[in-house]
C-alpha cells in the first residue's frame, strides 16, 4: 500500500490541462470481420500502440499484467506458456504440442512458441478471453492472443528507436515504409535487435550473461490493390531469439552456480498471404495462407550447481532440440453489406480451415557425463475444420449471433523407443450470443460458448500403460456483461461475469520416480472428471482532460477441481494451478501540449499454486513502473524504471529433491524469480 501512496503523490504533483478530448474507438481484428470492441459479445482487452510504447520496453512479457486474468509460466526465458482464466499449459510438453491458448502474429499461428512477440512496430495486441470455439477451434480452448503489427501506409513514414539501460541493455530498431512507384501498392519494413545480460550472476563461471537475452526481429509487409476487386497483403518475418536460461538457484536467489548454463532459443521464419476478392455483389472471399518454420532449443542445468558446490559428483543436464513446420489455409466467404439474408436482417460467414503440422524433437539428458535419456521423436498432424456463423438483427437494438465449427484431427507419433501413436478425433464447438443496446451509452451482452481441445498421449518408460493416452477436453462457458461509454466519450468501460465448466479436464501432473534422481521427474497428462472456473473482469479508461488519462482493470477468479483421481496428489476441491484469485492494474498517463509526458503503472497479483503435482504456492506481489520524458515534433526521449521498488516475486516453482548432501533427500521448493529493478533511456525519431 505504501507503494501505491507514493505513486499517487507523484501523479497528483504533475499539472493538468483543461481540454477534454474523447477516447479513441477500439477496433478488434481477430474476429471474422473487423469489429468495434464495444460490439463483441465477449470480454476482450486491446493494448494499442501508444500503450505498448508507454508501458512496455521490449517484449509482450512487459505488458502481460495489464490484461485481466492473463498469466504466464516462467518455464522459459520469455513467455511461451500462457494461461487465461486459469486454463493453459505451464511447462515443456511431453509427446505432442497441444496448446490451450492460441497465439497469432499477423495471421501466423505461433501457439505454444510465442517467444516471437517483441513489441517494436506493433500496432496492437488483442486478448480474447474464453473459448474461441467458432473462430479458432482446437488451439484456443482458453482464449487467444492476436498480435497485429503496423501495416503499410500510402504515405512515407519512418520510425527509429534507440534504447540503453541497466543490466547492459542495448536496443536499436528502424521501421520505414510508404507507397511504391505504381501507386497501387505500399510497403513497410521493420528491423530491431535488443540484448541484455539477463539479471543473473553466475559465480561458478564468473559471468553476468549466462541468462542474457539477444532478440532480433525483422518484418516486411506489402499491400497491393491491383484493381477494385482485389486486395492482397503479404507478410514475411524472421525472428531470432537467442537467450540464455540460467534462472534457477538452490537458494532461490539471483546468484547462480550452474556449471552448464542453459539456453532458450527460437528461430522462426514465416510468411502469410491474405487475399480479398470483392467482385461479387453478394459476398467477399478471403483466402489466408501461411507457412512457418521454427527451430527451438531448450537446455538447462538439472542440478543447478557444480561438483565443487555439492562436494560430490552430481551433475544433470537436459537439452531439447525442436523443429516445427506449419502450413495453414483458410477460405472464408462473408456476406457483403446490403446483401444480407432474410430481408437484410442476417449477415453470414462460412469457411474451411486446414492446418498441417510437422514437428521433430530430440531430447538428450546426461547424468554425470553418461547418457540418461536419448530420445528422438516425429509428430505429424492434420486439422481440417468447417465453420459458419450468422448474425441476425432482431430489432434496431438487438443482435443474435450463432456459430458452429466442426474439426477433424488426425495425427501420428513415432519415437526412437519405438513408441507409436496414431490418434484421430472429431471435435465440435460453437456459440450462441445476444447483444442488446440498452440506451445510447450502454450495451448488454450474453453468450453460451463451447470450446474444445484435442486429446494426446504421454511418453516415457515410467508412464503406466493405463495412463499412456488421454482424451479431448471440452469447456462450456456462460458469459454476461455490459460495455459502455459516458461523458461524451471521455469514459469507457466494461464489466463481465463468466462461468466455465470443464469436462474431461486435462491436468498435467508429475512424479519423481526415483527419489535420489531429480531427472527421473516424469510429467504426464490425465483427464480429471470435471472442474470449474468463474469470475469477474472489468476494465475502464477515463480521459480526465487533454493531458490526463486514467486506466484500470480488475480480475477476480475462482477455480476448483471437482473430482480427480491422481497417483501423485489429491486435487479434488483444490484450486487450479496458475490461477490467482485476483489481479489488478492501475495506470495514470500525463501528456502535456508542451511536450512533457509521464506514465505510472501499479499492478498486482494474488498468490497462486505453482503446479498440480504439489501444493506449494507463490506469494502475492505488486509491481510499479515509471516512464517520463519529452516529445518534440519528430523526436522523443524518456527515462523509465521497471519494478521501481525492486520487488522480489516468483513466476514459476518446482517442488522436488535436489540436495545430495541431505541424508533424507527431502523435497524442497525452488522458485524462478521475475525480473528485478531495471532502468533505462529511450529515444525515438519519427518522420
Give this prediction's pTM. 0.93
Query: Residue 91 maps to which CATH number?
Result: 2.40.170.20
Q: Which of 348, 482, 406 is nearest to 32 (CA)?
A: 348
Q: Classify residue 201: in a domain, yes or no.
A: no
**Count of H helices and E strands in the chain?**
4, 40
CA atoms within 13 A on the CB side of 574: 22
Q: In this predicted structure, what is the pLDDT of residue 11?
A: 46
Q: Classify residue 409: in a domain, yes or no.
A: yes
Residue 370 to residue 315: CA distance in whole angstroms: 10
Q: Which grid cell is 46? A: 486491446
Q: Classify residue 173: in a domain, yes or no.
A: no
Q: How far apart are the first and last CA of the chain?
A: 42
Residue 53 to residue 680: CA distance in whole angstroms: 14
Looking up cell 542474457 gives 212
Map residue 39 onto helix, strand or coil: helix
Residue 62 to residue 169: CA distance in whole angstroms: 15
Domain count, the chain: 1
Q: In this predicted structure, what is the pLDDT of residue 12?
A: 45
The rounded radius of gyration (Å) of the Cα atoms in the chain is: 25
Class of residue 574 by CB neighbours under 10 A (exposed 0-12, middle 13-18, buried 19+)? middle
Residue 296 belongs to domain spanning? 2-156+217-686
Please identify every stretch of the chain with a pLDDT value under 50, giving residue numbers as ranges: 4-19
Q: Which grid cell is 665? A: 533427500
Question: Are 602 and 645 in contact, with CB atoms under 8 Å apart?
Answer: no
Q: Classify residue 202: in a domain, yes or no.
A: no
Q: In this predicted structure, what is the pLDDT of residue 521?
A: 62
- Give me the residues paired with residue 104 across strands: 109, 146
Q: Classify residue 164: in a domain, yes or no.
A: no
Q: In this predicted structure, what is the pLDDT of residue 8?
A: 47
- Beta-carbon contacts of 370 under 8 Å, excluding residues fewer than 6 positions away, are none
Question: Are 373 and 365 in contact, with CB atoms under 8 Å apart?
Answer: yes
Q: Which grid cell is 110? A: 505461433
Residue 102 to residue 143: CA distance in whole angstroms: 6
- For 367-417, what is each residue's pLDDT tens digit? 898 998 899 999 999 999 999 999 999 999 999 999 999 999 999 999 998
Residue 307 to residue 258: CA distance in whole angstroms: 10
**Rounded to the nearest 5°, which phi and psi values hold at 401?**
-125, 130
Q: In this predicted structure, what is the pLDDT of residue 181?
A: 79
Q: In this predicted structure, what is the pLDDT of residue 467?
A: 73
Residue 668 to residue 674: CA distance in whole angstroms: 19
Q: In this predicted structure, what is the pLDDT of residue 20?
A: 58
Amino acid at each position: 500500500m505504501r507503494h501505491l501512496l507514493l505513486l499517487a503523490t507523484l501523479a497528483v504533483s504533475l499539472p493538468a490541462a483543461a481540454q477534454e478530448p474523447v477516447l479513441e474507438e477500439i477496433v478488434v481484428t481477430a474476429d471474422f470481420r473487423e469489429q468495434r470492441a464495444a460490439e463483441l459479445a465477449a470480454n476482450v482487452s486491446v493494448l494499442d500502440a501508444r500503450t505498448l510504447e508507454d508501458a512496455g520496453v521490449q517484449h509482450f512479457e512487459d505488458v502481460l499484467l495489464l490484461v485481466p486474468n492473463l498469466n504466464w509460466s516462467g518455464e522459459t526465458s520469455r513467455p511461451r506458456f500462457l494461461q487465461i482464466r486459469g486454463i493453459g499449459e505451464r511447462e515443456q510438453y511431453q509427446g505432442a504440442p497441444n496448446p490451450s491458448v492460441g497465439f497469432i502474429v499477423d495471421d501466423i499461428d505461433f501457439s505454444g512458441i510465442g517467444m516471437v512477440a517483441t513489441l517494436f512496430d506493433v500496432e496492437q495486441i488483442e486478448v480474447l478471453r474464453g473459448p474461441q470455439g467458432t473462430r479458432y477451434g482446437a488451439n484456443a480452448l482458453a482464449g487467444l492472443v492476436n498480435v497485429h503489427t503496423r501495416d503499410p501506409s500510402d504515405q512515407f513514414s519512418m520510425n527509429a528507436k534507440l534504447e540503453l539501460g541497466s543490466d547492459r541493455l542495448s536496443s536499436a530498431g528502424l521501421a520505414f515504409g510508404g507507397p511504391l512507384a505504381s501507386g497501387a501498392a505500399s510497403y513497410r519494413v521493420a528491423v530491431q535487435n535488443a540484448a541484455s545480460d539477463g539479471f543473473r550472476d553466475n559465480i561458478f563461471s564468473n559471468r553476468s550473461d549466462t541468462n542474457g537475452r539477444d532478440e532480433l526481429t525483422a518484418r516486411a509487409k506489402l499491400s497491393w490493390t491491383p484493381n477494385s476487386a482485389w486486395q492482397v497483403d503479404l507478410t514475411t518475418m524472421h525472428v531470432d531469439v537467442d537467450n540464455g536460461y540460467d534462472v534457477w538457484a538452490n537458494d532461490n536467489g539471483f546468484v547462480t552456480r550452474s556449471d552448464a548454463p542453459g539456453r532458450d532459443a527460437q528461430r522462426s521464419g514465416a510468411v502469410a498471404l491474405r487475399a480479398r476478392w470483392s467482385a461479387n455483389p453478394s459476398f467477399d472471399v478471403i483466402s489466408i495462407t501461411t507457412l512457418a518454420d521454427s527451430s527451438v532449443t531448450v537446455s538447462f542445468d538439472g542440478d543447478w550447481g557444480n561438483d565443487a558446490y555439492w562436494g560430490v559428483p552430481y551433475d544433470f543436464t537436459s537439452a531439447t532440440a525442436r523443429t516445427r513446420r506449419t502450413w495453414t489455409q483458410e477460405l472464408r466467404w462473408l456476406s457483403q453489406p446490403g446483401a444480407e439474408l432474410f430481408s437484410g436482417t442476417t449477415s453470414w460467414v462460412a469457411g474451411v480451415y486446414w492446418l498441417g503440422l510437422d514437428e521433430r524433437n530430440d531430447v538428450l539428458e546426461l547424468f554425470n557425463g553418461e547418457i540418461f535419456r536419448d530420445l528422438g521423436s516425429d509428430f505429424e498432424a492434420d486439422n481440417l475444420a468447417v465453420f459458419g456463423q450468422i448474425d441476425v438483427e432482431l430489432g434496431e437494438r438487438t443482435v443474435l449471433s450463432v456459430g458452429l465449427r466442426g474439426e477433424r484431427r488426425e495425427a501420428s507419433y513415432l519415437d526412437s523407443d519405438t513408441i507409436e501413436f496414431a490418434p484421430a478425433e472429431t471435435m465440435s464447438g460453437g456459440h450462441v450470443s445476444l447483444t442488446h443496446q440498452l440506451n445510447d451509452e450502454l450495451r448488454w451482452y450474453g453468450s453460451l460458448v463451447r470450446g474444445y481441445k484435442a486429446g494426446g498421449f504421454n511418453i516415457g518408460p515410467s508412464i503406466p500403460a493405463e495412463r499412456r493416452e488421454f482424451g479431448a477436453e471440452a469447456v462450456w462457458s456462460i458469459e454476461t456483461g455490459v460495455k459502455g461509454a459516458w461523458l461524451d466519450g471521455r469514459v469507457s468501460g466494461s464489466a463481465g461475469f463468466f462461468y466455465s465448466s470443464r469436462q474431461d479436464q486435462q491436468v498435467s501432473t508429475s512424479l519423481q520416480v526415483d527419489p535420489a534422481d531429480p531427472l527421473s521427474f516424469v510429467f504426464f497428462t490425465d483427464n480429471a472428471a470435471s472442474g470449474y472456473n468463474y469470475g469477474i473482469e472489468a476494465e475502464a479508461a477515463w480521459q480526465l482532460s487533454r493531458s490526463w488519462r486514467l486506466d484500470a482493470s480488475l480480475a477476480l477468479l475462482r477455480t476448483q477441481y471437482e473430482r480427480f483421481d491422481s497417483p501423485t496428489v489429491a486435487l479434488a476441491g483444490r484450486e487450479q494451478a496458475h490461477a490467482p484469485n485476483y489481479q489488478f492494474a492501475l495506470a495514470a498517463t500525463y501528456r502535456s501540449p508542451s511536450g512533457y509526458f509521464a506514465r505510472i503503472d501499479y499492478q498486482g497479483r494474488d498468490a497462486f499454486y505453482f503446479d498440480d503435482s504439489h501444493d506449494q504456492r507463490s506469494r502475492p506481489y505488486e509491481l510499479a513502473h515509471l516512464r517520463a520524458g519529452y516529445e518534440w515534433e519528430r523526436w522523443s526521449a524518456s527515462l523509465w524504471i521497471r519494478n521501481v521498488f525492486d520487488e522480489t516475486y516468483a513466476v514459476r516453482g518446482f517442488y522436488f529433491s535436489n540436495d545430495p548432501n541431505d541424508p533424507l533427500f527431502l523435497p524442497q521448493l525452488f522458485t524462478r524469480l521475475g525480473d528485478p529493478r531495471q532502468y533505462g533511456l529511450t529515444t525515438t525519431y519519427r518522420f
